[in-house]
């Protein structure tokens, strides 16, 4: 929650050195990134006291098989039986500072350096490294951080802090039972990489010696979808692969080339059809058959609602500090249901009816004041989920 458009940059430009990969990751903070994790029903407020992990970082050893201790998983979201009746205008211009106050986000989010919301207490990320992405996985918190020279995923759990270096992006499962990410290229461009599936307590790894520029796209059920390119540099061709943690190899998914996101039930995917400096076209594709359901050149699709009934996107060609709008479309037909206009940096569906967005109230860059807002698809109404603040705000990945 993407622009000429951050996800398009990842599709178009092959990364030539590790520093460029990291630069693209940092730049993704300035444009709307797809955040597609927590689809659980509203959760109770955290009761665990705030803690700051203090143990020294250590590198976890990848497991060669799926961990034997399987964590319990929350119940899957229930799909709505009826499509909500839409009321109010289709296109709405946001006035963030004038919105009323609602409940706090019911999914994990970052405020300053504190991870709040979701199942668990507040966890403070120590140090001064920039926090790019966060997620809760079972009883652990994951944070993707960078200090400008390198990036790493930090896992905070009861045992302290563990780390995996050279990661460019995370994707967590909808039920918060796992996350996946790719690591590669510690010292400049190196062919190959490692795909990790993280349960919050242990890792399962798939080591790859061929191809370049690995990036995890989605973690749905027991399948991790990731992309990679055939060459390093201009003229690269991108392909999508699927891997079940514990299996010795990944499989090519020809029907989902240039995939950008997938619904939580694994039935529908959004793919990029055309990428250029002036914009892009996106399509919704049936995963099982590879059949294209519909396409749009007005929006770049970047997320689905928990049931998969609604798909979200930003205007094609958006470029800059933030997205100019976020749209909700009918996932079956492509009909525009709602569009909120503003300066929006990230989005996450909170449930089938509500969308959370980090929205700018005033200023830009380091001087910006932002808030997490909650907007209702059926009515278009919005409210503050957090106060307007100069603190760094980030929704779970």
Give me the CATH number covering residue 381: 2.130.10.10
Residue 68, in any domain of the structure: no
| pLDDT bracket for residue 317 (50, 70, 90) | confident
Residue 77 lies in a domain: no
Q: What is the pLDDT of residue 188?
A: 67
Report the alpha-carbon angle 101-105-107, nearest 5. 175
Q: Which range, of 55-69, 88-102, 290-304, averages the lowest pLDDT?
A: 55-69
Least confident of 65-79, 87-101, 235-249: 65-79
Q: How confident is the model at residue 190 (pLDDT cuts 50, 70, 90)?
A: confident
Whether the pLDDT of residue 53 is over 70: the answer is: no
Q: Is residue 67 assigned to a domain? A: no
67: pLDDT confidence band, cut at 50, 70 and 90? Answer: very low
Q: In this structure, are residues 113 and 99 in contact, taking their beta carbons and an 8 Å threshold?
A: no
Q: Which domain holds residue 324?
A: 6-43+82-395
Average pLDDT over residues 280-299: 94
Contact 123, 53 (CB under 8 A): yes
Does 141 reside within a domain? yes
Give percent of the chain with pLDDT exceeding 70: 77
* Model pLDDT, residue 32: 40
* pTM of the predicted model as reported, rounded to 2 decimal places: 0.79
- Please give the pLDDT value at position 276: 66
Asked if residue 111 belongs to a domain, the reply is yes
The total of structural domains in the chain comes to 1
Average pLDDT, the chain: 82
Average pLDDT over residues 124-138: 96
- Supply the DSSP string of 296-365, one letter for each residue: ESSEEEEEE-TTSSEEEEEETT--SSSEEEEEEEETTT--EEEEEEEEEEEEEESSSSEEEEEEEEE--G
Task: Judge contact between 320 and 302, C-beta under 8 A.
Answer: no
Could you report the per-residue pLDDT of 221-240, keeping only the tens digit for each?
999 999 999 998 888 999 99
Is residue 4's pLDDT more than 50?
no
Task: Examine residue 73 and state whether it is found in any structural domain, yes or no.
Answer: no
- Whether residue 49 is contained in a domain is answered as no
Confirm whether 91 is domain-assigned: yes
The pLDDT of residue 161: 95
Question: Does residue 341 have a pLDDT over 50?
Answer: yes
Supply the DSSP string of 225-257, one letter for each residue.
EEEEESSSSTT--EEEEEE-TTSS--EE-GGGT
């Amino acid at each position: 929650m993407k622009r000429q458009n951050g996800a398009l940059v990842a599709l178009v430009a092959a990364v030539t050195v590790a520093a460029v990969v990291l630069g693209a990751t940092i730049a993704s903070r300035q444009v709307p990134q797809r955040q597609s994790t927590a689809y659980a029903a509203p959760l109770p407020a955290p009761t665990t006291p705030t803690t700051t992990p203090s143990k020294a970082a250590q590198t976890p050893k990848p497991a060669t098989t799926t961990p034997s201790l399987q964590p319990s998983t929350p119940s899957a979201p229930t799909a709505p039986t009826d499509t909500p009746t839409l009321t109010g205008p289709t296109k709405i211009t946001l006035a963030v500072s004038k919105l009323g106050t609602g409940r706090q986000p019911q999914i994990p989010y970052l405020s300053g350096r504190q991870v709040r919301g979701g199942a668990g207490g507040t966890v403070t990320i120590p140090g001064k490294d920039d926090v790019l992405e966060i997620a809760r996985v079972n009883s652990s918190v994951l944070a993707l951080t960078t200090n400008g020279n390198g990036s790493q995923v930090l896992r905070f759990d009861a045992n302290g802090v563990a780390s995996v270096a050279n990661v460019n992006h995370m994707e967590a499962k909808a039920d918060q039972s796992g996350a996946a990410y790719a690591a590669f290229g510690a010292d400049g461009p190196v062919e190959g990489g490692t795909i990790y599936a993280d349960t919050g307590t242990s890792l399962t790894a798939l080591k790859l010696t061929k191809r370049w520029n690995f990036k995890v796209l989605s973690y749905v059920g027991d399948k991790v979808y990731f992309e990679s390119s055939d060459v390093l540099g201009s003229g690269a061709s991108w392909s999508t692969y699927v891997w079940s943690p514990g299996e010795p190899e990944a499989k090519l998914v020809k029907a989902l080339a240039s995939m950008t996101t997938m619904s939580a039930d694994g039935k529908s995917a959004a793919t990029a059809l055309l990428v250029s400096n002036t914009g892009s076209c996106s399509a919704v594709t049936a995963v099982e058959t590879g059949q294209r359901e519909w396409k749009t050149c007005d929006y770049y699709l970047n997320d689905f609602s928990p049931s998969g009934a609604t798909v979200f996107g930003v205007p094609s060609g958006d470029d800059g500090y933030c997205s100019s709008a976020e749209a909700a479309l009918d996932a079956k037909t492509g009909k525009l249901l709602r569009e909120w206009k503003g300066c929006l940096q990230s989005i996450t569906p909170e449930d089938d009816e509500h969308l959370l967005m980090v929205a700018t109230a005033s200023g830009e860059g380091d001087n910006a004041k932002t808030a997490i807002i909650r907007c209702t698809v059926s009515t278009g109404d919005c409210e503050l989920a957090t106060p307007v603040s100069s603190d760094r705000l980030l929704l779970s990945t």
